[in-house]
Amino acid sequence: MLKNKTIAVDICNTLADVIRELDRRLGANPDPSIYFHPALKGKKDYFKENLDIFEVAQPIGNSAERLRKLAKYNNIVYITARPEISKEITIKWLEEHNYPKADIYFTNNKVEIAKELGVDLAIDDAPREIKEYRKAGYEVLVKKQSYNEEFGNLFDWEMI
């Protein structure tokens, strides 16, 4: 049982099923073992131009319930690569789906924020982020996805 830890939690595809919404909008990813949907190639502002994707993405499994349990004994912080202009949508989404109230950080450098906050453990799905956290010496619980199966420490929310 984790106690008295600061846990950095990613949002997209760790808590919110953005993949499913992308597949609905762009068609199924022909190679789910690749992190980025190929239809996003060359569309660096796709999420800024489609912020509603963050409103309609559904929670993954029982992640809200499990995270609330973790929050009873630990300090939760959300560290996300979402664009900062999605802040209000993100706060509203977390509240509507009954996730624990916690500080939210929008960044392209999660490790830097984790260091500033004294994070003990990260929960993420993105291969690049997992590698960066581990390179910096952090333990990472990896939300199991088809594109990150080469990593150890894989979990589904039902396991926590």
- CATH code of the domain in which 64 resides: 3.40.50.1000
Q: Please give the residue range of the domain that contains residue 118.
A: 6-159
Rounded mean pLDDT of the chain? Answer: 97
- On whether residue 71 sits in a domain, the answer given is yes
Percent of the chain with pLDDT over 90: 96
CA distances from 103 to 70, 74, 99, 139 (A): 15, 13, 12, 20
Segment holding 9, helix H or strand E: strand 6-9
- On whether residue 140 sits in a domain, the answer given is yes
Tally of domains in the chain = 1
- On whether residue 1 sits in a domain, the answer given is no
pTM of the model: 0.96
**Main-chain dihedrals φ then ψ at residue 103, nearest 5 degrees:** -65, 145
- On whether residue 79 sits in a domain, the answer given is yes
The pLDDT assigned to 75 comes to: 98
Task: Report how far residue 102's alpha carbon sits from residue 43's, in angstroms, rounded to the nearest whole number.
Answer: 31
CA distances from 41 to 35, 45, 46, 47 (A): 12, 10, 10, 12
